[in-house]
């Protein structure tokens, strides 16, 4: 049987007489239609919107894009903070000052672990400055839980350790001594504040303080000013006495 869609003169005659139906036109598709079909296909497969160039976007589309971009940035920041917090929790495993003896020294100090800072306070009961530093160190232990804070009665930890050297603070890292503060003068006696001690320990990098300057400098300046005012007052008083004697 002859194909009715063939381009022959006989078929043309039959179409003209209405015997055959009109010849079907070939389907045509433009390049724009091809692009649109491809974009629709990609969009359906990925479940995402097709991203346009900025210049092709309407104002509403730009606003929507900015909102999505803000959400993406916030989500990335949230993931980063969660990772940082998780890492911090892994190393923030101390938080209290622990008492040790000579038996514990090697294990707790020399074998504390790679990268761990250890602060050891040698003290004796009945010495006010030792008691003051113990209170300060307990607070710092809670504030800086990534650093290991220890205390030990001096002669229990080191037999025959002289009382004149108390209080003593040894700072260790990776089993090696990094810094030592020995005797009352090293701490400015009973004037040693919590901030003073925090700054001193931060100088060895055993803790990371947020203090911007040594608080002892402010006190020294204040003491000089106070002393100067007192001297000035005394000087004026002497002048008055001289005037009265005349």
pLDDT at 246: 44
Model confidence pLDDT, tens digit, residues 6-53: 667 767 767 776 766 776 655 555 666 666 666 665 555 555 444 556
Fold of 97-207: Glutaredoxin (3.40.30)
Domain coordinates of the chain in residue numbers? 66-90, 97-207
Mean pLDDT in the chain? 78
From the number of C-beta atoms within 10 Å of its C-beta (0-12, 13-18, 19+), residue 180 rates as middle
pLDDT at 132: 97
Question: Where does the pLDDT of residue 78 fall: very low under 50, low under 70, confident under 90, or very high at 90 and above?
Answer: low
Q: Which of 106-115, 139-148, 213-222 has the lowest mean pLDDT?
A: 213-222
CB-CB contact of 146 with 91 (8 Å)? yes
More confident residue, 132 or 47: 132
pLDDT at 202: 95
Model confidence pLDDT, tens digit, residues 150-199: 999 999 989 999 999 999 999 999 989 999 999 999 999 999 999 999 99
pLDDT at 166: 96
Model confidence pLDDT, tens digit, residues 199-229: 999 999 999 999 988 888 877 666 565 656 6
Which phi and psi (to 5°) does residue 11 adopt?
A: -65, -35
pLDDT at 185: 95
CB-CB contact of 219 with 241 (8 Å)? no
Decide: pTM greater than 0.85: no
List the one residue out of 80, 99, 97, 105 whose CA is nearest residue 142. 97
The number of CA neighbours under 13 Å toward the Cβ of 222 is 5
In the predicted structure, residue 238 carries a pLDDT above the cut 50:
no
């Amino acid at each position: 049987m002859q194909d009715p869609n063939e381009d022959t003169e006989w078929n043309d005659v039959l179409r003209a007489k209405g015997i055959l139906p009109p010849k079907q036109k070939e389907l045509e598709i433009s390049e724009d239609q091809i692009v649109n079909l491809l974009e629709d296909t990609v969009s359906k497969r990925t479940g995402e919107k097709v991203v346009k160039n900025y210049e092709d976007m309407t104002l509403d589309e730009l606003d929507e894009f900015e909102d999505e971009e803000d959400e993406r940035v916030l989500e990335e920041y949230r993931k980063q903070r969660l990772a940082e917090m998780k890492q911090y929790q892994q190393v923030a495993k101390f938080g209290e000052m622990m008492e040790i003896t000579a038996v514990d020294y090697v294990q707790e100090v020399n074998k504390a672990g790679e990268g761990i800072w250890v602060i050891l306070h040698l003290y004796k009961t009945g010495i006010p400055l030792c008691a003051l530093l113990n209170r300060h160190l307990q607070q710092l232990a809670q504030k800086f839980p990534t650093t290991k804070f220890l205390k030990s009665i001096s002669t229990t930890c080191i037999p025959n350790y002289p009382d004149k050297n108390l209080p003593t603070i040894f700072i260790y890292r990776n089993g090696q001594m990094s810094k030592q503060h020995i005797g009352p003068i090293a701490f400015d006696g009973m004037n040693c504040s919590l901030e003073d001690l925090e700054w001193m320990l931060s100088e060895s990098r055993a803790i990371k303080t947020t203090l911007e300057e040594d608080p002892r400098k402010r006190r020294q300046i204040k003491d000089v000013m106070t002393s100067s005012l007192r001297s000035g007052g005394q000087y004026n008083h002497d002048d008055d006495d001289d005037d009265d004697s005349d």
